[in-house]
Amino acid sequence: DIQMTQSPSSLSASVGDRVTITCRASQGIRSDLGWYQQKPGKAPKRLIYAASTLQSGVPSRFSGSGSGTEFTLTISSLQPEDFATYYCLQHNSYPLTFGGGTKVEIK
Amino acid sequence: QLQLQESGPGLVKPSETLSLTCTVSGGSMNSRDYYWGWIRQPPGKGLEWIGSIYYSGTTYYNPSLNSRVTISVDTSKNQFSLKLSSVIAADTAVYYCVRRPYGVPPGGWGQGTLVTVSS
């Protein structure tokens, strides 16, 4: 199985801050990675696929980068509605595996 | 507009079989473009992929659950199903059904259904 190591597991930030979340894969996964946002009591919402392609309707302050084994999700200017938990998911090979999640909290 | 809706018992006894159905509306399941799958999330924890099925019936399961999981599809009813046998308390989770476009991570998700394993 491919292990996805996501960091940090939590962070505190203020509105307007730039936030970066990292996922590292235990082996190369090309660009077969997606990022999700999950709010309490809701299903995850896909933000980015193919490592850097923004899902239609997702604000441009979200961006993704990376390929191979190291990936980042960046929120350029944190907004109140962005406080949530974020997950990466690799779909390069079965079983699909998620990162452990990053909870973004208000400072 | 695509909608997925999970249904099934919210309480299952230990050692019994968990059975859930996902009803798909707003799109046909009989397409080469998509996989249909299940993901779960124990309360307060992260996400775990359970398995997927292609319209042809080919299945892919998480090895950690492989011997207990069966996913099937009924394209005539626009439904697919999950069966998880010999459940234990650790199988308590919110179960999501998802649609995964070929070559892309899952995009459409159901709202999720909480299944509690308890006597």
What are the tens digits of pLDDT across the range B12-42?
999 999 999 999 998 888 888 999 999 999 9
CB contact under 8 A, B105 and A91: yes
CB contact under 8 A, A89 and B47: yes
Which among A50, A55, A101 has CB closest to B46?
A101
B-chain residue closest to A92, CA distance: B103
CB contact under 8 A, A43 and B109: yes
Q: Which residue has the higher pLDDT, B90 or B29?
A: B90
Mutation target among A96, A97, A102 for the B interface, most CBs of B within 10 A: A96
Q: Which amino acid is at A4?
A: M
pLDDT mean across residues, chain B: 94
Which among A1, A45, A87 has CB closest to B47?
A87
Q: Average pLDDT for residues B107-116, to the nearest whole number? A: 97
Which among B47, B62, B63 has CB closest to A44?
B47
Cα torsion A82, B50, A3, A86 to 10°: value is 0
Q: What is the pLDDT of residue B75?
A: 86
CB contact under 8 A, A89 and B105: yes
Number of Cβ within 10 Å of residue A98's Cβ equals 22
Question: pLDDT of A32-87, one tens digit each?
Answer: 999 999 999 999 999 999 999 999 999 999 999 999 999 999 999 999 999 999 99
Q: What is the pLDDT of residue B56?
A: 83
Q: What is the pLDDT of residue A96?
A: 97
Given a cut of 80, whether residue B66 has pLDDT beyond it is no
CB contact under 8 A, B46 and A50: no
A-chain residue closest to B65, CA distance: A95
**Contact list, A95 vs chain B (CB under 8 Å):** 49, 60-64
Q: What is the pLDDT of residue A106?
A: 87
Residues of chain B whose C-beta is under 8 A from some C-beta in A? Answer: 46-49, 52, 60-64, 96, 100, 103-107, 109-112
Strand B113-117 vs strand B11-12: parallel, antiparallel, or unpaired?
parallel
CB contact under 8 A, B61 and A95: yes
Q: What is the pLDDT of residue B29?
A: 84
